[in-house]
Amino acid sequence: MKKVELNQLSKKQIELIEAAIQVRKNAYAPYSKFKVGAAVLDENGNIHTGCNIESIDYTLTSHAEMVAIDTMVKSGCRNLKEIAIVLKSTAYSVPCGLCRQKMVEFSNSDVSIICVNLDSDEQIKEIFATSLSLLLPYAFKEL
């Protein structure tokens, strides 16, 4: 996990972060109060977004990353290259194990993962860069 600055990122990565910040505003998280926004960059350079959507039955909750990936698949693409996740947390936060496994399902090479932590004013506080192979080594997949 590497801490990075905004000026070290590509234009496309900044675009991804901006899209994730925007979609996070639509997060429906009345139970956890933990809003998450995600934006996926697919193999064709298109961006797909998602936010978490909770339900009073917690098991029905959709994670932001999953919604973004489902949106990509629904558009006809099955291969993501990068993902940005935006949330507000006291420490760094990374996609959960379920979301990591879903990224494995819909990628054919390593995925760059950018985790953005917002401050109390919803401004970017810190950015961490990592990758799927680092977060989920020896993943369960068809070879």
Please say which residue, 76 or 140, places its beta carbon nearer to ligand THU: 140
Tokens 């932590």, residue located: 117
In sign, the C-alpha dihedral spanning 70, 72, 76, 79 is negative
77 binds, among ligand THU, Zn ion, none (CB under 5 to 8 A by kind): none
Q: Is 61 in the site for ligand THU (CB under 6 A)?
A: yes
Binding map of Zn ion across residues 54-93, x = CB under 5 A, - = no contact: ---------x------------------------------
Q: What is d(CA 99, CA 120) in angstroms, rounded to the nearest whole number?
A: 26
CA 9 to chain centre: 16
Instruction: Summarize as ranges the residues that interact with Zn ion (CB under 5 A).
Output: 63, 96, 98-99
